[in-house]
Structure 1
Amino acid sequence: MKHKFNYKYILSMSMISALGGLLFGYDWVVIGGAKPFYERFFEITDIPMLQGWAMGSALVGCILGAAFAGKITERTGRKKPLGLAALLFVISAAGTGGFSDFYWFIVFRILGGVGIGLASTISPMYIAEISPSMHRGRLVSLNQLAIVIGILAAQIINYLIADPVPENTSDLTIVNSWNGQMAWRWMFWAELVPALAFFILIFVIPESPRWLSKNNRMEASVKILSNIGGKEYAQQIQEEINETIRNVSNKMNIREIFSGENKRFIIKGIILAFLVQWCGINVVFNYAEEVFTSAGYGVSDALFYIILTGTVNLVFTLVALRVVDKWGRRNLWLFGSLGLGASYVFIGLFYFLNLEGIVLVILVVVAIAIYATTLAPVFWVLVSEIFPNRIRGIALSLTTTAMWTAAFLLTYTFPIINKTMGTYGSFWTYCGICILCFVFVKSSIPETKNKTLEEIEKIL
């Protein structure tokens, strides 16, 4: 049966929710451009432990936010926690740039991390729960597109705000310059514009119909579903929702969550989270300057190529929006795993042979393009789809917590792996993990395109 969908209504809800992803991307990357200046301002350039803490403190917040997101969303819905995330982004942006004390700088970075943890869990979940099945992949991928736009925006804004720094400029000169006193502050304050917009617009969107149904608010759920696709669509989907939540308690204890089929779902989500991080592409983003300078380029060229990687990431995320509902989640993941692994083989070979130049840059850009088209958007789509209605909030929270834990481990183990095995050995290791990505999805994850969340639940 064909339904007449209100695409303007669906798209507006999805885009407002995806602002959480944009702020996630911006907040995550902005610190990289501010790093050369706040380190000198706070006098930590010779204190590696504090340098690492300044860069990694937001990860602690990410893990905390993702860990508590499940309980909050099951109790209060999807809308209110998104509003809380928006408020935390506002407070973090204002405070990180506003204080001149390193202790408070860290406190506000952690608060921003909590906002990232909440948004990265709830935004794709909300979009999945309000999307018609035939468009869900594309709509959930809007969240990944928003993350990529946020990343690129942070890279460009950092570049535009900071004055050029001549080589061999002393630390004292930098500290007393515009960059050392104010530029790094404005990099964080620029986030206030989208953060305030997100906070205001959250009041416009409705609650998730799946959460309303689970909490016995069927009338409100039917009204929202009717606004999405008309009365017949609302009746059909509401019946499917009712069937999946019938005889299921609203309150599930820990033993129930980690038993039987629920345990199997959660284990799959956690494995996907670790694999999508440990495929290694975030090493290219986190250590981009080192990757490009190792290829024989100077600092200025390296900064240009960093923006290039962000641009490529954006362009191919747009490609993903067009293909995720046509080619399917499973096929994209399988193709991406093999393509990324092959790219790593050649990148590792170039480092092994001590080759430099534009070919290595092209290989890195190709790897980013493959990841942006396949694994990056497909991960968020899959984990928003594969969990049953009764445990989706908690399961997605656990999965996102695992993802941030994996990101933390990846970021902090790369220097060790790189030193022990060499750069070529690192990329060949990540190639092996890409093969594990392929094998796991091939054997354990079915295709989910064009199926309602309730149909996927029955299949799994």
Structure 2
Amino acid sequence: MNATAKTFNSKYIIGISFISALGGYLFGFDFAVISGALPFLREQFMLNAWWEGFLTGSLALGCIVGCLIAGNLADRYGRRPGLMLAAFIFAVSSIGIAFSSGLTYFVAMRFAAGIGVGMASMLCPMYIAEISPAEVRGRNVAINQLTVVIGILITNLVNYFLADTGPDAWRWMFGLGVVPSLVFLIGVIWLPESPRWLIKSGQQQKAKVILNKIGSPGFAESTFTAVEKSLVGATKQSYAMVFEKAVRPAVVVGVTLAIFQQFCGINVVFNYTSTIFESVGASLNRQLFETVAIGVVNLVFTLLAMWQVDKLGRRPLMLYGSLGLSVIYIVLAFLLQNHFPTGLVSIFVLLAISIYAISLAPVTWVLISEIFPNKIRGVASSVAIVSLWGAYFILVFTFPILAKILGAYGPFYLYAVICFLGFLFVKFKVKETKGQTLEELEDNLIRH
């Protein structure tokens, strides 16, 4: 299919992509809120290094469960019901965290929030990829990453202004998560179901109506035909299907990229900003200010990534990001190790954030949403994103322990090595996907 951009209803596509991507805002919120809340939670619950890591990582454990639920739910009932359930779970858990009376209850509620975040993290990019024409799919899936970073920035700003309200400021930080949850829930009610899921479930007429809203009759017909062809011989999805020889290369790439996006180490900077800057003598106010600066840089370079992902392509951005982070981490570790001034440390932290935001952050989600065949996209995406959240848990759980043993600088030498290995993997194993329909990518996978 070589339809031009003029054959698409761009306003409609961007509108439903933004509504779906509000799930990314929830991801960004819960991702960032812990950074501002940790100084208060350490006092509230008398956290040691082990509990600090587990409390932070409990979100990821919930995300793993959420991904597993979402995979089956999305394939059985559709993408929309899963998105609605994710929003509801997140709203309830936000209130639960705000009223936590003890550490066990807090961790249980953060785990529940993770279920909602995990469901959204899988379903939002997948839904957007399935409703987007090939020419703009990378940009549209990157909208999800944009809402993630907007969530991070707004949450960091709110945390900064709430910090002076007293020892219970953390309750407000978490409790305000109910607002974006309800906005997302209301928005999902207006979303159409994924036409690719409708075709797979035998609802061809509904699929045609939605495809004709997305683009011209020619676009709708060619897309419908291509999707039906790709589903010939499809059977009920199961996790055993992701190990079949025909799809194994795509699964290996998807899972490895998901794990690498976390083990590259940048989420330590997002979640433990206060710990890193405390190690060079920054005050609490300066620590929280740095979280805001990180949020601003993250937003600016995510916008740049959205502009470039369908122009430069996925592979060049991933190569640039992995090698760039490797170099920056070595410098950052040296600065932290030798207690250089906070301002200089801040410059290299922000450089690392900018490189990640234009490369590994959005492009990994784009690739995961598009490299798997229609027949197994739900369960294969689930496996990849479960791997991502498992890696995230290991990363954030181990950092406080490693920082206590090695100093805050020590882990960054390790992350530099991992980033260089990631560069080699992308160079030799990841193929370019820009400008190809999901069905064309599937055909290429089968041929190779």
Shorter chain as denominator, the TM-score bin is over 0.9
Structure 2 residue runs without a partner (length 5+): none
1:26 Cα deviation (Å)? 0.4
Alpha-carbon shift at residue 188 of structure 1 (Å): 2.1
* Alpha-carbon distance, 1:38 to partner: 4.9
Partners of 2:87 and 2:181 within 8 A in 1: yes
- Say whether the 8 Å CA contact 2:83–2:124 is kept in structure 1: yes
Distance 1:232 1:136 in 2: 18
Q: Is the 8 A contact 1:134 1:325 kept in 2?
A: yes
Name the residue aligned to 2:69: 68
TM-superposed deviation, 1:424: 4.6
Are 1:400 and 2:400 counterparts?
Answer: no
Q: Which residue identity is paired with 1:11?
A: I
User: TM-score when scaled to structure 1?
Assistant: 0.91
Partner of 2:241: 256
Provide the C-alpha distance between the structure 1 equivalents of 2:410 and 2:100, rounded to a whole number of angstroms: 42
Q: What does 1:153-192 correspond to in 2, within 5 Å? A: 153-163=154-164, 179-181=166-168, 183-192=169-178
Q: Secondary structure at the match of 1:27?
A: helix
Residue 212 (structure 1) aligns with: 198
Deviations 1:224-281 (A, max 9, x none): 11100121100011111111111221x1344333221223322221111111111111
1:348: how far off? 2.5
Q: Which residue of 2 aligns with 1:246?
A: 232
Query: How far did residue 120 of structure 1 move?
Result: 0.5
Residues 192-218 of structure 1: per-residue CA shift (max 9 Å, x gap): 221111111111001111111111212
Contact preservation (8 Å) 2:336, 2:408: yes
1:36 is displaced (CA, Å) by 3.8
Q: Deviations over 1:112-141 (max 9, x none)?
A: 110011000100000000011111111100
CA–CA separation in structure 1 for the residues paired with 2:183 and 2:336: 45
**Equivalence for 2:30:** 27
Q: Decide whether aligned partners of structure 1 residues 410 and 105 sit closer, same or farther in structure 2, where only a CA change above 3 A counts.
A: closer
Cα root mean square deviation, aligned? 2.0
User: Which sits farther off after the overlay, 64-73 or 346-355?
Assistant: 346-355
Moved more, 67-76 or 257-266: 257-266
Q: Helix, strand or coil for the counterpart of 2:309?
A: helix
The corresponding residue for 2:308 is 323
Q: CA deviation at 1:363?
A: 1.2
Are residue 450 (structure 1) and residue 396 (structure 2) matched? no
1:227 equivalent to 2:213? Answer: yes
Aligned pairs for 1:51-130 within 5 A:
51-130=52-131
1:5 to 3, 8, 27: 8
Q: Is the 8 A contact 1:78 1:126 kept in 2?
A: yes
Tell which structure's C-alpha radius of gyration is larger: 1
Does the 8 Å contact 2:53/2:397 carry over to 1? no
The whole-number CA distance in structure 2 between the counterparts of 1:279 and 1:222 is: 42
Residue 151 of structure 2 aligns with which residue?
150
Q: Given the superposition, is the C-alpha separation of residues 129 and 364 from structure 1 closer, same or farther in structure 2, using an over 3 Å criterion? A: same
Partner of 1:14: 17
Q: CA, structure 1 residues 396+51, in 2 after alignment: closer, same or farther (shift >3 Å)?
A: same
Matches within 5 A, 1:274-353: 274-353=259-338
Q: Which residue of 1 aligns with 2:186?
A: 200
| Aligned partners of 2:156 and 2:288 also within 8 Å | no
Q: Does the Cα contact within 8 Å between 2:50 and 2:400 map onto a contact in 1?
A: no
Is the CA contact 2:58–2:393 (under 8 Å) kept in the aligned structure 1? no
Distance 1:108 1:351 in 2: 34
TM-aligned CA deviation for residue 296 of structure 1: 4.0
Q: How many residues are matched? A: 442
Distance 1:98 1:248, change over 3 A: same
Structure 1 unaligned residues grouped into runs of 5+: 164-177
